[in-house]
Amino acid sequence: MEIIDNVGAPPELVRIIHEEAKDCDVTQVIFGAFIPGLHGDKGAFNPVVGSIIIDLGACIVDKAWMKKGIMFIPCVWFNLLMTAFHELTHAVQLEAEPELAGLDALPQEYEDEATEIAERRLLDWVKEHPVPKLSEMGWVGEQLKRLLNRLYAEMPEAVIEEVDLQGTDIVARAVDAARASKEYGTEEKTALLLKQIDEGMVGAKVGDRKYLTAYEAIDLDYVQHKTWED
């Protein structure tokens, strides 16, 4: 498999792709930033030539994970991993059903499956690894440093927090993640979560601040059901 890196992809992302692409027919992975042909999409798979394109710029811009209370740096990192896993799943899908390549767009169920598998692979990865530091994220890290510098004037505390927590598996303030979760939103349940963090059952504490790890924050409702049953 050939890697064409026009920008400076994070080395860990390249490593993951090499590892995962062993099991499918991907011939080429191209990294770019703000690629006009992608119209803002974070990635694409071309079944004709077997190539995956990953748009590092679009992965920085998409803030969807922040709606779950997840901080900026991990939000971008999760976008990169999800995009890689999602497009790799399309490669596997098209290998299994080559006739799909004739369609203009994949049916929704294939998109849903790719996203679901990508999230599972992301959860597997975060269980084993901390989010890389900015200095380990190549061009993406450089862009994030610039953006955080600019944000510092507006929200110095949040920026310092992001920078201090880099390289760990801590990705969200517990209160923010609870507020954004479907079932954790009430004051009572948020209080229970904070108590569980105090007792060392979930999350992490830095000083007085209570946080959630990546594995917990990505799917807090799932974690919540588990702890409720205990």
Residues engaged in binding Zn ion (CB under 5 A): 111, 114
- Sign for the pseudo-dihedral over CA of 32, 34, 39, 43: positive
In angstroms, give the least distance from the CB of 48 to Zn ion. Answer: 16
In angstroms, give the least distance from the CB of 56 to Zn ion. Answer: 17
Distance, C-alpha 220 to centroid of its chain:
15
Residue 52 β-bridge partners: 29, 45
Question: Quick one: 54 or 137, whose CB is closer to Zn ion?
Answer: 54
In angstroms, give the least distance from the CB of 131 to Zn ion. Answer: 24
In angstroms, give the least distance from the CB of 89 to Zn ion. Answer: 8
Question: Quick one: 89 or 213, whose CB is closer to Zn ion?
Answer: 89
Question: Quick one: 95 or 111, whose CB is closer to Zn ion?
Answer: 111
Burial class (CB within 10 angstroms; exposed 0-12, middle 13-18, buried 19+) of 203: buried
Question: Quick one: 104 or 154, whose CB is closer to Zn ion?
Answer: 104
In angstroms, give the least distance from the CB of 126 to Zn ion. Answer: 21
